[in-house]
Structure 1
Amino acid sequence: MSSSEDKTCAICLGSVETGQGQAIFTAECSHSFHFACIGNSVTHGNYLCPVCRARWNDLPFVMQNLNLNANNSSIDHESFHDSRNLFFPNPQQQPPVRRRPVFEPEPLQFSDDEPLPAVTTDVSPSGLQNVSIKAVPERAAIAASESIPRFAVLVGLRAPSLSEDARQMQRAPIDLVTVLDVSGSMYGSKLNLLKRAVNFVVDNLGPLDRLSVVSFSTHARRIFPLRRMTEHGRDDAKRAVNSLLASGSTNIVEGLKKGVQVLEERHHHNPVASIIFLSDGRDTCNFGSQLPTFSNQRQPPQYLLLLPASICPGNRENQDHDQREIFPVHAFGFGSDHDPLTMHAISDSSGGTFSFIESYEMVQDAFASCIGGLLSVVTQELRLMVRSASHGVEIKSIPSGRYASEISDQGSQGTINVGDLYADEEKEFLVNISVPTLTNAEGEESERKTSLLDITCSYRDVVSKEMVQIDGDLVEIRRPESPSPPDLVVNLEVDRQRNRLNAAESIAEAQRMAETGNLLGAQSLLSNGRSALLASPSGQAGDGLCMWLEAEMKETEQRMGSRHRYEREGRAYALSNMSAHGYQRATTRGSRAAAAFGGSASFYSGDLSATDSASFNGYVTPLMASMVSKSQQLNKTEDATASTPQQLNKTEDATPNNSQQLNKTEDATPRQE
């Protein structure tokens, strides 16, 4: 449909632009009509979209006592603001009795956040265990006369667990802002499911956590200030969330600006601050209404330059003097019509994650997985340091993904800035070094060794608030005259990490190729990468991580099968994978939640086998798994006891591919390229 058709009512051919005194109805297929026009059509039994012929699940219902017609330009603002009473899933359903939402005027500055409770000095919760460090060389031995220009050492970190009895006291409280798209395309089941998901978040925040809610469509509004989630705070937050209405355009820039403003202007500060950002569309208010094409070479839209530097650090005018805090944005692309390039760029630059919610009913599980991590931060400001332990051992490279790393002192020292760690979260890095020949090969052969690396990490403990430094074991390697065959076998943990890095790079490169229109080349790259992965030592051993990576690459390859499919789902799927691998942190991808599993398998101990691959989920922590399981159980209970948004779509649920049919009416009509 052309842009001119988008602004025209297909029934009377009049303008449906806002601000002209007429009520507008936007259907779930995104087509808009004058309310009077479409209401009259529905009362005569026409339940299909006049434009695309899609069958609507949510129909407009015109109340007899409200005169809405094309000539009435004096509609009562209060009645129109409460227009949710005009929309019902079924024409025979009677309007429910609901209270009209009452919004307090926004202050000029958002320094009205609720104060934090005073720190009780006489309460001393049991402290956390320390972060654990492991180091595994690529091979067990190197010949004394051999020099290797590139030898890998795997360095792994694992955060401590949270005890069940002191969980709230052993993790960092959070200031969380949800920035929610309530534009017209969110009307109906999507908005209902979003409200349900945010209410789940509200229920799982603790009394020390604070929540603020920002909604945006054509304009953005803070509908709930930053308040503690006590019993009263939860009740008020839910009332605010449940009052949300869907209408208007999509102004992503203003929504994120408002969310950042809440955090930047708060008077009190919890240790962790994050933004959860959800949108189902593209910014239509800031030069972002055009669909990305193959010719744009993966360039995000220019309006990202309008975003605050605290979520897009590259927008800082003065890098030396602007030291504002960076707020991670965990972005959720909802359905098939969102802008994955933009949302991934925002999350990536801020240190957050990008998730692709392909199936609408999965939004609560996706939020559950995210907050399962955010509500379990146990260490902050973590920094990993590796130092050469012998003359001639030089650090060559540290492929650290999206974590900033640096090699200094002519290769004798390397650092990786990791930041926050969730409970039980693991990070693994390969440190590539050069190993020289052993010049003084004296003494017993069995005692000849070369010291490779000294490893330390420092971080802030969220319980004690003190900085902690942990020293790892010295990494050494034996230097016999002639290594035995077992000494030459590549360690499976190192091989597994190489496979992870190779898979991540293959997906990223395939995505770059797909953006230029080379879909066949992208598919071939992924196919060759899968073959190489399965032929590797860990792949031959049936390693669980390798099986998971292979399945992930295969799915990415399939979603690049055509231009239409790539634009609809492949782009977002690939970018959510890239986000997960870049930060070694779980994301929701496609029709699977980040923790939709029977349990989480860890590859930290290196004991995965082929039997683990079915339940293996990369980067999922136990608390993330627990939170998603809680969400799924709640959904089952609510579905069994009440009429839910999912039950309004029984016809879709009966089809084999309901996640696709729940998306917009592109499934009912061919998409116009």
Structure 2
Amino acid sequence: MSFDFDDEDQNVPYAYYTPGTLQRDTAQNVWLVPHTATNRAPLQQNKQQVLLELIGASSTSERSGLDLVAVLDISYSMTGENRLGRMKTAMQFVIKKLSPNDRLSIVTFSDDAERRCHLRSMTQASKAHLEDLVDGLGVINMTNMKAGLETGHKILDDRRIARGRAASIFILSDGDQNKGDATTVDVSDVAVYTFGFGADSNHKVLGEIAMKSKGGTFNFVEDGESMSEPFSQILGGLLSIVVQDLKLTVSPNPGDSTIEKVNAGLYLQTKDTNTGSVTVSFGDLFAAELRNIMIDVLLPTVHRSKNVTVIIASCTYSINGKPFVSHEFRVTIRRTGSADPSSPISEAVLTEQVRQIYIEDLRQAITLADSVGLQGANNKLVEARNNLQLERSNSMIDILRAQLDKLIELISSGMGLRALRACLLSMMMLHGRQRVTETGPVMGHKLYVTQFTDMSRKQAGDHEKDPAKVPPPASQDVDQAKIVRDQQGIKRPPAVVEATTCSWRTWWRDRKSHHESSRWAMAILCTVLAIAMIVIGVTLLAVYLLNMPKMPYLVVSDAQLGALRYAQQDGTIQYLQLPITILAENNNSKADATFSRVDLALQFHGVDVALLRTPAPFVVAAESSLPLQYNVVSTGRRLDPAGMRSMDQSLNAGMVPFDLRGKARTRWKVGIFLKAHFWTRISCRLHFFPSNSTVMPTDLRRCRSRYLVVEPTHQGSSSKLVTGARIFLNLFQAFRRCSFNGRTRSIDYEDACGGDFANLKMMCRLSISEVLIGACAKGPEVVGSALKGALHSSPATTNMSFVAGAAPPTVTHPAVAGFTMSPPLPSKS
């Protein structure tokens, strides 16, 4: 059998892309939504189930052109029940609904098959011609379904214009094939939708053809019912196709999981034995369609709590012939010793488990109908109905119960075996393909509908009443669907829109469920706690800001370079005398300030020249100050090469810098409720003029300590409140220090937190490192110190390390006033 290529209308859109590297789909035309049976799994070896929802989220304005071949039975049996007339009405609707971007070919079969027209672009002239052709069809003896299917498949197989275009076959029949076997025709590369008219149709053959095809379904149409509506809902889906040749690949994470089984209904699966990955081929996806895939995974034994990736999923598909790959999607589960194996399974996973058991029950009922008869099938359906009674009610489970109730009622009312088997087969195809299907008296078309299948079915109903009425084109359906989504406030295409469909996946969810109530209660509780924390934080901040100017501090009031002798050859400071006076200031008018420890270091270019300390705690009265006078005498401190160069440059310039660094711990009253222990730190540079021993006045004004770590304590309050206040105040100080001090050194955050980093994260419920880095790009040392103060009630004293040589002298402040001396000129040796 061959056809002339010139007969094919080629003035239609097609893909001009050549196969090549897959491109990343930034528009996200396919969504993956995961559901795990539980969020936590035990450390021992165990099995888990993961549900993946695959949703078509493409814009139908980019839909593919459709090449449709209608294979029509015109055998003598079609005269009964006016089947031929109703088939003509259905075909008239199909012809009117298609646009010039779509092509249609009509094949009839009886004794043999005949191609009535080639693939024709559906222009107005073509529509008029095909309407006349359909009206003129008459009946002939015999039913050679195989010849009709072979002819239809050949038309699509011989297309010149094929890339980027959706292709499908409709085959309609009302009787048994009596010439050839249509099930031997290979249709694995195209979707074939079969329609059986009446109980006498050979639904076994029609069902097997659809099962072997690429995503097709078997539709059971009762005698006397409309044929236009079953045609139209499939046609509406075909006219919304954007995503083609969709494949989902799920892979285990080596060492963390093993895939044991993938349940994707009636879709073809292939497994890679080397990697353990499984690929499911779905064919073309109607716009806004949903596919549920259940994955059974085995988790090995682990020895510590951790988050593990159990599934890695991605999709490949084409849009208008251009190949795409989706973003890689990872599903994680927490492995922990506290996981409860008896914890309830998520509702989405539980509902899918019930639905898959239901499909298996339908399959067994079909087998029993063939082997035992009507009563065997009825017993299985009653058993399935009783099992569903034990399940918690939701929209999907309620529909499954209603379907079984209807089937049992029809059997008791006298439904024949052939009609029952046709009904069961169409219902199994409905759930196995997860695609809208005509299921006879059970009314399965209410499941898995999309906006486009639903609109097309309603338009076909109007066409039945008034055949002269022209249905709106597919482009108008796209605009209408967008209006409906905008009115309903839907941000992404819903998988179902009927209230009677599986609304366990609708966006508004089931508000009556226990889990949803718990979520709302938790949301309200978290909101109240957040408001309370904000109020407490603002209160603490206000108290802190009001009292901040009154915090005690240290300030250098006087410093003189008494003597400096430096050996240039070996870089040794042979002798240094430097009297320095530091005031401990307390500007608080109502409370004394206690300085329990003072540790300061006088340095030159990083080398400690002397340590300045206080031997015992001392108290500074309110609104007063206490001078700490030190007479620094240091000998034999050797500089490194960089320090030697710096000293030479300083002496040549006539100005010698010394750094004063250190901290003091104080205790001070903050407001009425809090008493604070905090560390105040000095980090400044004093520039001396050796010629007259004086220091730059601006250095003295700047050489003042600043608060470093606040440790508030509160008698009578809970430790958590105190800890929260301490963290809040210290973070504020750290961020403020970061804003003004750009010369701090980087340290390790976790080290700064003293090992309690995890406790801090648990307490604050946030990533401290992210907060600190984001709020303070400079000065992590200050932030780390603040955190360390927040986590420890009394921070440990930092031991200073020195360069090689004798330890620097420790100078304690004298009990009496210090002395001054006239400085000699510095000398070089």
The verdict on a shared fold, with TM-score over 0.5 as the criterion, is yes
Shift of 1:478: 2.1
1:205-604 maps to which residues of 2 (within 5 A)? 205-269=98-162, 271-286=165-180, 303-304=181-182, 307-309=184-186, 311=187, 326-351=189-214, 352-389=216-253, 391-409=255-273, 412-441=276-305, 448-462=306-320, 465-483=321-339, 488-536=343-391, 540=392, 542-560=393-411, 565-591=415-441, 595=445
Number of residue pairs aligned between Structure 1 and Structure 2 = 459
Shift of 1:128: 6.0
- TM (normalized to structure 2)? 0.52
Shift of 1:259: 1.6
3-state SS, counterpart of residue 452 of structure 2 = helix
Is the CA contact 2:66–2:238 (under 8 Å) kept in the aligned structure 1?
yes
Relative contact order higher in (CA < 8 Å, ≥ 6 apart): 1
Q: Which amino acid aligns with 2:447?
A: G
Compared CA separation, residues 622 and 640, structure 1 to 2 (3 A): closer
Q: Give the structure 1 partner of residue 45 of structure 2.
A: 147
3-state SS, counterpart of residue 361 of structure 1 = coil
2:265 & 2:304 partners in 1: Cα distance? 38
Compared CA separation, residues 565 and 118, structure 1 to 2 (3 A): closer
Shift of 1:579: 1.5
3-state SS, counterpart of residue 331 of structure 1 = strand
1:359 & 1:620 partners in 2: Cα distance? 23
1:162-177 maps to which residues of 2 (within 5 A)? 162=59, 167=61, 170-177=62-69
Q: Of 602, 627, 631, which residue of structure 1 is paired with 2:456?
A: 627
Is the CA contact 2:374–2:417 (under 8 Å) kept in the aligned structure 1?
no
Shift of 1:593: 5.9
Compared CA separation, residues 530 and 258, structure 1 to 2 (3 A): same
2:9 is equivalent to residue 114 of structure 1: yes
Compared CA separation, residues 245 and 132, structure 1 to 2 (3 A): same
3-state SS, counterpart of residue 367 of structure 2 = helix
Compared CA separation, residues 574 and 627, structure 1 to 2 (3 A): same
3-state SS, counterpart of residue 49 of structure 2 = strand
Shift of 1:552: 2.1
Compared CA separation, residues 108 and 142, structure 1 to 2 (3 A): closer
Is the CA contact 1:387–1:455 (under 8 Å) kept in the aligned structure 2?
yes
Compared CA separation, residues 367 and 593, structure 1 to 2 (3 A): farther
Shift of 1:509: 0.7
Deviations 1:23-48 (A, max 9, x none): xxxxxxxxxxxxxxxxxxxxxxxxxx
2:53 is equivalent to residue 156 of structure 1: yes
Q: Which amino acid aligns with 2:337?
A: E
Compared CA separation, residues 215 and 133, structure 1 to 2 (3 A): same
Q: Give the structure 2 partner of residue 134 of structure 1.
A: 33
Compared CA separation, residues 258 and 405, structure 1 to 2 (3 A): closer
How large is the RMSD of aligned CA atoms in angstroms? Answer: 2.8
Is the CA contact 1:559–1:566 (under 8 Å) kept in the aligned structure 2?
no
Shift of 1:629: 1.2
Shift of 1:568: 3.5
Is the CA contact 1:176–1:211 (under 8 Å) kept in the aligned structure 2?
yes
1:153 & 1:127 partners in 2: Cα distance? 25
Is the CA contact 1:210–1:226 (under 8 Å) kept in the aligned structure 2?
yes
Q: Which amino acid aligns with 1:158?
A: I
2:325 & 2:49 partners in 1: Cα distance? 24
1:593 & 1:362 partners in 2: Cα distance? 13
Shift of 1:490: 0.3
Is the CA contact 1:369–1:594 (under 8 Å) kept in the aligned structure 2?
no
Shift of 1:411: 6.6
Compared CA separation, residues 414 and 266, structure 1 to 2 (3 A): closer
Is the CA contact 2:250–2:311 (under 8 Å) kept in the aligned structure 1?
yes
Is the CA contact 1:394–1:411 (under 8 Å) kept in the aligned structure 2?
no
Q: Give the structure 2 partner of residue 56 of structure 1.
A: none
2:67 is equivalent to residue 196 of structure 1: no
Q: Give the structure 2 partner of residue 178 of structure 1.
A: 70
Is the CA contact 1:393–1:435 (under 8 Å) kept in the aligned structure 2?
yes
Structure label with greater radius of gyration = 2
Compared CA separation, residues 107 and 489, structure 1 to 2 (3 A): closer
Q: Percent identity?
A: 28
1:243 & 1:128 partners in 2: Cα distance? 47
2:15 & 2:294 partners in 1: Cα distance? 42
Shift of 1:224: 1.9
Is the CA contact 1:180–1:279 (under 8 Å) kept in the aligned structure 2?
yes
Shift of 1:422: 0.8
Deviations 1:375-402 (A, max 9, x none): 1111112111222235141100012222
3-state SS, counterpart of residue 138 of structure 2 = coil
Shift of 1:334: 0.6
Shift of 1:205: 0.9
Deviations 1:178-200 (A, max 9, x none): 01111122127221111110010
Is the CA contact 2:146–2:185 (under 8 Å) kept in the aligned structure 1?
no
1:262 & 1:481 partners in 2: Cα distance? 62
Deviations 1:566-607 (A, max 9, x none): 434101101111222222111101136654xxxxxxxxxxxx
3-state SS, counterpart of residue 281 of structure 2 = strand
- TM (normalized to structure 1)? 0.64
Q: Which amino acid aligns with 1:582?
A: G
Compared CA separation, residues 638 and 194, structure 1 to 2 (3 A): same
Shift of 1:555: 3.2
1:435 & 1:135 partners in 2: Cα distance? 18
Is the CA contact 2:373–2:417 (under 8 Å) kept in the aligned structure 1?
no
Deviations 1:527-555 (A, max 9, x none): 2222222323xxx1x21111112222333
Q: Give the structure 2 partner of residue 91 of structure 1.
A: none
Deviations 1:410-452 (A, max 9, x none): 67422212221110011011000012233134xxxxxx32221
3-state SS, counterpart of residue 521 of structure 1 = helix
1:590-669 maps to which residues of 2 (within 5 A)? 590-591=440-441, 595=445, 617-638=446-467
Shift of 1:127: 9.8
Q: Which amino acid aligns with 2:465?
A: K
Q: Which amino acid aligns with 1:623?
A: F
Deviations 1:481-533 (A, max 9, x none): 32369x92101100111111100000001100110124333222222222222
